[in-house]
Amino acid sequence: MTRIWKFGSDVDTDQIVPGRYAPYMRPVEDVGTAAFIEAHPEFNKNACPGDIIVAGENFGCGSSREYAVLALKNRAVAVIIAHSFARIFYRNAVNLGMALIEAPDLVDNLQDGDDCQLDLPSGRLTVNGQIFDLPVFSPFTEAIVTAGGVIPYIQKFGVLPGEKPED
Amino acid sequence: MGQTLSEQIFSNAAGRTVSPGEIVVIRPDVVMSHDSLTPGIIRILADQFGQTSVYDPDQLVFVIDHVAPASTVGTADAQYIVRAFARQNHIRLFDVGRGICHQVLVEEKIARPGTIVLGADSHSTSYGSVGAFGTGMGSTDVAVVWATGKTWLRVPETLRILVHGRFQPGVTAKDLALKIGRQITISGATYMAIEYHGLEWLSLPGRQTLASMAVELGAKAGLVPPSGDVLDRFDVPDWLYVNPQAQYSRTIEFDLAELGPQIALPHAVDQVVDLSELYGTSISQVFLGTCTNGRYEDFKEAAVILHGKKVSENVRMIITPASQKELLRAMADDTLTTLINAGAVLTSPGCGTCMGRHQGTLGQNDVCLSTGNRNFRGRMGHPDSKIYLVSPAVAAASALSGSISDPRAL
């Protein structure tokens, strides 16, 4: 069984991975072990593959460091559901093929430690036996995430997202 | 219908008239990356694109500023990779000691009015100080530009900040930047471009302070319309101008007659109060530097206060010039001598201890008054350490007394 880790608003990238733990300062393979290493030691120690992060407004604000997303991806966080996301974090996550969902009402219904089961393809989240429908992605975002990220997208379609072949 | 500066810049880059909300694929004029992330981008290029060369080397600029000079074997080895890649691909590189990327690109006029400058660094909003569209991106996005010469961008809506009046004595652009955050919050401009109006009189360094902190409001870019100081130094394309018919999603007004010194409390950039609420709070370190406030003018502001005096024995004052040129300016008059005579410690030009990696990392019990742009928990060192954000004048006045003090009282 996977669980929910609930965070507040304005979770910044220094909390997700402090700059002192950047791949520049340590081996890149270790970035997952730095996820929330100081801001949430319990998550850092106990988060399991498939767990879900739920948060308030502006998740991922601050630095452009993509390794904040990479750390959570390497820990196999299944999805992040928040009221809203900071711009660069959102773009970084989509680029790495990681699912982010903006769903304020849903966030308010979810509690830290809740058992959950995610069925992303069918857009369903089961929490303590209750089933929630997830909002759909924009087609633009979905195409990139489905391809597995922006580089797989470019390699598959031969163009950038948003680019017409004749451009 | 008139366009905002961002809409004009995107229309010029796309070769057609574009509107907010549209996604456009463009060739950015400049793609900047620094030592902290460039090794990773080289790796993405090799592992995922299978390339060791870039589409257009002239588009790229590397700056070694984040850990400069190297502090560990790992950072030294990573910098070696960056230098070798730059040499092999004929990419411009500004090495250790030249300065902070955002300062160097303005000094070298690589960031120019009307250009699109992408940076693998969130404070790339700084380039808006000269009327460029500067925005931060992650490593994969930058690798895509290296490989293809192009990127996709959504044309942002524009939020206008309209400023009235002039700064009162002891109050500066940093106080305005903090006040804006206090009012609209850390996410108040998410996905938007900001335009700062009413500041024709503000010098370039003040514009850099404001634009660097646009990202602390969630903004994608923060542009000061080219005027005054910027017109004297840069050529501005004739299509780039403030159109009275431009549509802004929102206008927020600030009256400088009513603005006093501001301070951001640990651990949020928008948790800002009037300085007077914190008078007397003890501090252990003062950090004067960063892309936000590490220029000659900032050093001068501090030197005027510290002239002939000594910083408190309870405080370490670390001064880190934004660039070699700014350091030379501070050496050309008595600014640097005054600061060092007062007890300040000079470090090499660069980012310094802004992200806690070297040259002044904070310990558990440290309380730092920083002229930088971020005070997130643990940013400069131990997660229990505290960072307050202030102007250079407040930093200097507080260094003297060892506790948070008002420069206007001196």
Residues of A in contact with B361 (CB under 8 A): 20
Task: Check residue B344 and give its pLDDT.
Answer: 98
Same-domain check for residues B274 and B213: no
The residue type of A142 is: E
Question: Looking at the partner chain, which of B121, B150, B190 has a beta carbon nearest the beta carbon of A160?
Answer: B150
Question: Looking at the partner chain, which of A39, A88, A162 has a beta carbon nearest the beta carbon of B136?
Answer: A88
Same-domain check for residues B176 and B101: yes
Task: Check residue A1 and give its pLDDT.
Answer: 82
In a domain, B405, yes or no: yes
Task: Check residue A164 and give its pLDDT.
Answer: 84
Q: Say which residues have a Cβ less than 8 Å from residue B204's Cβ, sequence separation at least 6.
A: B106, B129, B130, B229, B230, B233
Closest CA to B170 of B410, B409, B408: B408
* Closest-CA residue of chain A to B120: A64
Confidence of residue A166 (pLDDT cuts 50, 70, 90): low
For chain A, the domains span 2-136
- What is the average pLDDT across B331-348? 98
pLDDT above 60 (res B197): yes
Task: Check residue B110 and give its pLDDT.
Answer: 98
Same-domain check for residues B248 and B306: no
B350 DSSP assignment: S
Residues of A in contact with B23 (CB under 8 A): 140, 161-162
CA distance, residue A110 to nearest chain B CA (Å): 23
Question: Looking at the partner chain, which of A18, A61, A154 has a beta carbon nearest the beta carbon of B378?
Answer: A18
Domain containing residue B312:
264-409
Residues of B in contact with A66 (CB under 8 A): 37, 40, 138-140
pLDDT above 70 (res A88): yes
CA distance, residue B377 to nearest chain A CA (Å): 7
CA distance, residue B329 to nearest chain A CA (Å): 30
Task: Check residue B70 and give its pLDDT.
Answer: 97
- What is the average pLDDT across B24-34? 98
Are the beta carbons of A18 and B49 separated by less than 8 Å? Answer: no
- What is the average pLDDT across B225-244? 97
Task: For residue B116, list its beta bridge partners.
Answer: B133
Q: Answer whether B305's CB lies under 8 Å from B393's CB.
A: yes
Sequential DSSP letters for B158-188: EEEEEEES-PPTT--HHHHHHHHHHHH-TTT
Among B254, B282, B317, the domain-final residue is B254
Task: Check residue B1 and give its pLDDT.
Answer: 78
Tokens of B384: 């229990």
pTM of the model: 0.97
Give the relative orientation of helices A67-74 and A87-95 as an angle to the nearest 10 degrees: 50
In a domain, B176, yes or no: yes
Residues of B in contact with A97 (CB under 8 A): none
Are the beta carbons of B383 and A38 separated by less than 8 Å? Answer: yes
Residues of B in contact with A14 (CB under 8 A): 355, 374, 376-379
CA distance, residue A49 to nearest chain B CA (Å): 23
Closest CA to B156 of B16, B15, B8, B31: B8
Are the beta carbons of A64 and B121 separated by less than 8 Å? Answer: yes
Are the beta carbons of A24 and B218 separated by less than 8 Å? Answer: no
Per 3-state DSSP, chain A is made up of helix, strand and coil in percentages (nearest 5) of 35, 20, 45
To test the contact with chain A by mutation, choose from B27, B65, B82, B141 the residue with the greatest count of A C-beta atoms within 10 A, namely B141
- What is the average pLDDT across B160-169? 98
How many CB atoms lie under 10 A from the CB of residue A130? 10
How many CB atoms lie under 10 A from the CB of residue B255? 10
Are the beta carbons of B357 and A64 separated by less than 8 Å? Answer: no
Q: Is the ipTM of this complex over 0.90?
A: yes
Are the beta carbons of B122 and A88 separated by less than 8 Å? Answer: yes
Are the beta carbons of A162 and B220 separated by less than 8 Å? Answer: no
Q: Give the helix ranges, DSSP H, for B185-295.
A: 204-212, 228-233, 290-293
Same-domain check for residues B230 and B134: yes
* Closest-CA residue of chain A to B26: A163
Confidence of residue A103 (pLDDT cuts 50, 70, 90): very high
**Strand A52-55 relative to strand B221-223: parallel, antiparallel, unpaired?**
unpaired
Same-domain check for residues B245 and B277: no
Show the beta-strand stretches assigned E in B279-403. 285-288, 316-319, 345-346, 367-370, 386-389
Residue percentage of chain B with pLDDT more than 70: 100
Same-domain check for residues B243 and B280: no
**Strand B386-389 relative to strand B250-255: parallel, antiparallel, unpaired?**
unpaired
Are the beta carbons of B383 and A39 separated by less than 8 Å? Answer: yes
Are the beta carbons of B187 and A61 separated by less than 8 Å? Answer: yes
Number of domains in chain B: 2
Q: Answer whether A35's CB lies under 8 Å from A16's CB.
A: yes
In a domain, B311, yes or no: yes
Closest CA to B396 of B322, B289, B323, B265: B289
To test the contact with chain B by mutation, choose from A64, A70, A145 the residue with the greatest count of B C-beta atoms within 10 A, namely A64
pLDDT tens digit sequence for B263-300? 999 999 999 999 999 999 999 999 999 999 999 999 99
B156 DSSP assignment: P
* Closest-CA residue of chain A to B215: A62
Same-domain check for residues B75 and B118: yes
Phi, psi of B5 (to 5 degrees): -60, -45
Residues of A in contact with B120 (CB under 8 A): 64
Task: Check residue B245 and give its pLDDT.
Answer: 97
Distance CA B125, CA B208 (A): 9
Q: Answer whether B111's CB lies under 8 Å from B117's CB.
A: yes
- CA-angle at B86, arms to B82 and B87, nearest 5°: 120
Task: For residue A117, list its beta bridge partners.
Answer: A126
Closest CA to B205 of B93, B133, B299, B339: B299
In the predicted model, what is the mean pLDDT of chain A? Answer: 95
User: Which CATH number does the domain housing residue B24 bear?
Assistant: 3.30.499.10
Are the beta carbons of A58 and B190 separated by less than 8 Å? Answer: yes
Are the beta carbons of B23 and A65 separated by less than 8 Å? Answer: no
Are the beta carbons of A20 and B357 separated by less than 8 Å? Answer: yes
Same-domain check for residues B315 and B210: no
Distance CA B45, CA B53 (A): 8
In a domain, B104, yes or no: yes
Are the beta carbons of B190 and A12 separated by less than 8 Å? Answer: no
Are the beta carbons of B140 and A151 separated by less than 8 Å? Answer: yes
A2-136 CATH, one of 3.40.50.300, 3.10.50.40, 3.20.19.10, 3.30.930.10: 3.20.19.10
Residues of A in contact with B378 (CB under 8 A): 14-15, 18, 20, 38-39
The residue type of A1 is: M
Tokens of B180: 């804006």
Tokens of B164: 């009235």
Q: Answer whether B383's CB lies under 8 Å from B145's CB.
A: no
Same-domain check for residues B280 and B162: no
Task: Check residue B273 and give its pLDDT.
Answer: 98
Same-domain check for residues B163 and B286: no
Distance CA B200, CA B313 (A): 41
In a domain, B259, yes or no: no
Sequential DSSP letters for B88-118: HHT-EEE-TTSB-HHHHHHHTT-S-TT-EEE
In the predicted model, what is the mean pLDDT of chain B? Answer: 98
b/e string for B335-371 if b means 16 or more Cβ within 10 A? bbebbeebbbeebbbbbbbbbbbbbbbbeeebbbbbb
To test the contact with chain B by mutation, choose from A24, A151, A156 the residue with the greatest count of B C-beta atoms within 10 A, namely A24
Are the beta carbons of A14 and B140 separated by less than 8 Å? Answer: no
Residue percentage of chain B with pLDDT more than 90: 100
Same-domain check for residues B275 and B226: no
